[in-house]
Amino acid sequence: MRRILIIDDEDDIREVAALSLEATAGWHIFMASSGLEGISVASAEQPDAILMDVMMPGVDGPATFRRMQEDPTVAHIPVILLTAKVQGVDQRRFASLGVTGILFKPFDPLTLAQQISEILGWK
């Protein structure tokens, strides 16, 4: 069973994504409402992948990702950014960070697990 950590400051987004991934793929979901909490959960739970919002108060997604890359306990975990920013310049900036992939809001709950699987090369 795949284990996914969802990091997003919006309760509704976390809940919809979690319910979607549990119902359509049977994955085990962990949740965090901030980047710093997400790093702590990732370190403790060692999920197979992280789905993380870009825009969060305090420490945003890109800054959280950079902190994760400096922490050997979580640096190996693939990160997929979740963003409403669809401009090409934003996509290139996020991709240049070294994240595994980018998904766009609003996402389709029925295909979210499939999209994550494709990005990560899971069958």
| Whole-prediction pTM | 0.94
Helices (H), ranges, the chain: 11-25, 35-45, 61-69, 88-96, 112-120
pLDDT digits (tens, 9 = 90+) for 21-43: 999 999 999 999 999 999 999 99
pLDDT digits (tens, 9 = 90+) for 53-104: 999 999 999 999 999 999 999 999 999 999 887 676 677 777 788 999 999 9
Residue 119's Cβ-count burial label (10 Å; 0-12, 13-18, 19+) is: middle
In DSSP terms, 80 is beta-bridged to 51, 101
In DSSP terms, 83 is beta-bridged to 104
pLDDT of 86: 67
Q: Where do the structural domains in the chain lie, given as residue ranges?
A: 3-120
CATH code for the domain defined by 3-120: 3.40.50.2300
